[in-house]
């Protein structure tokens, strides 16, 4: 009898196991990896004054800022015509960084006649400065450093009347470097004089020209 009961219990249907809901599978998220920027793209961006697509990695920054001068020159002359054609069409009366670095008129020989310790290499390394047409400031005459035609080394600058220079368009016209197709797109405003950029001012002059903070700005600064 007991044996019969056991057989009946063993034959009785068993309840199915409880199915617990499974958590949905989630894909692992990885930090996005930027497509590396090659040397050609980096140097072109620098020479052509184009915006970079993102912040550079340390290795990319090294290539962008510290590539040897001869390699930078090779990159410029390899794509010079293409860069200039696009630049002049978009920005007539001006030139990109690569042009100022390699194609702009060079430092006049009179400079090394006056300061012979510099040597002939200066004539190839630096371009001729723009003409100063107004303002007051004391330039370090024995330094040939220039950036886009602006002398960069100054002992003093009058913050109330800083040095003013011919515009890029005037510089190009004076050296007969304006393309016939671009000159017709220029206006009188393109030939107006330009002040010396403040990044080249001596610290004291730049501080003197800085706007006086308002009481609210002073309070915020004190809180910081």
Between 210 and 64, the more confident residue is 64
Q: How many CB atoms lie within 10 A of CB 36?
A: 10
Alpha carbon of 142 to those of 12, 63, 138, 158: distances in Å?
Answer: 108, 31, 12, 20
Count of residues in the chain: 224
pTM comes to 0.75
Per-range mean pLDDT, top range of 53-62, 116-125, 138-147: 138-147
Q: Are 117 and 144 in contact (CB under 8 A)?
A: no
- Reply yes or no on whether the pLDDT at 25 is more than 80: no
Q: What is the percent of the chain with per-residue pLDDT over 90, rounded to a whole number?
A: 62
C-alpha 31: how far from its chain's center? 27
Domain spans of the chain? 38-102, 104-211
Residue 213 has pLDDT above 70, yes or no: no
Among 71-80, 113-122, 160-169, 200-209, the minimum mean pLDDT is found in: 200-209
CA distance 79 to 98: 10
Q: Is the pLDDT score of 201 beyond 90?
A: yes
pLDDT tens string 83-130? 999 999 999 999 999 999 999 999 999 999 999 999 999 988 999 999
Cα 95–100–104 angle (5° rounding)?
A: 100
Q: How confident is the model at residue 186 (pLDDT cuts 50, 70, 90)?
A: very high
pLDDT at 56: 86
Question: What b-and-e string marks burial along 62-101, b requiring 16 or more CB atoms within 10 Å of the CB?
Answer: ebbeebeeeebeebbeeebeebbeebbeeebbbbbbbbbb
Which bin fits 135, alpha (ψ -120 to 50), beta or left (φ > 0)? left
What pLDDT is attached to residue 100?
Answer: 97
- Over residues 6-16, mean pLDDT: 56
Nearest to 78 by CA among 54, 104, 105, 98: 98
Would you list the DSSP string of 170-215? Answer: HHHHHTT---HHHHTT--GGGGS-EEPPGGGS-HHHHHHHSPPPPH
At residue 37, the pLDDT reads 80
The three-class DSSP label of residue 130 is coil
């Amino acid at each position: 009898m007991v044996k019969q009961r056991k057989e009946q219990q063993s034959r009785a249907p068993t309840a199915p196991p409880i199915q617990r809901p499974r958590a949905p599978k989630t894909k692992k998220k990885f930090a996005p990896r930027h497509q590396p920027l090659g040397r050609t793209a980096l140097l072109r961006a620098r020479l052509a004054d184009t915006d970079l697509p993102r912040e550079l990695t340390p290795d990319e920054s090294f290539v962008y800022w510290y590539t040897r001068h001869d390699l930078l020159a090779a990159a410029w002359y390899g794509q010079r015509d293409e860069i200039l054609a696009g630049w002049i069409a978009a920005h007539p009366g001006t030139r990109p960084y690569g042009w100022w670095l390699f194609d702009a008129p060079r430092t006049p020989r009179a400079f090394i006649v006056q300061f012979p310790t510099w040597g002939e290499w200066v004539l190839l390394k630096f371009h001729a400065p723009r003409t100063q047409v107004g303002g007051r400031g004391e330039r370090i005459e024995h330094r040939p450093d220039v950036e886009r035609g602006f002398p960069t080394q100054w002992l003093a600058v009058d913050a109330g009347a800083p040095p003013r220079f011919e515009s890029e368009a005037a510089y190009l016209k004076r050296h007969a470097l304006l393309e016939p197709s671009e000159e017709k797109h220029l206006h009188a405003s393109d030939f107006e004089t330009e002040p010396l950029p403040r990044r080249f001012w001596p610290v004291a002059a730049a501080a003197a020209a800085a706007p006086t903070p308002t009481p609210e700005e002073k309070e915020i600064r004190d809180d910081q």
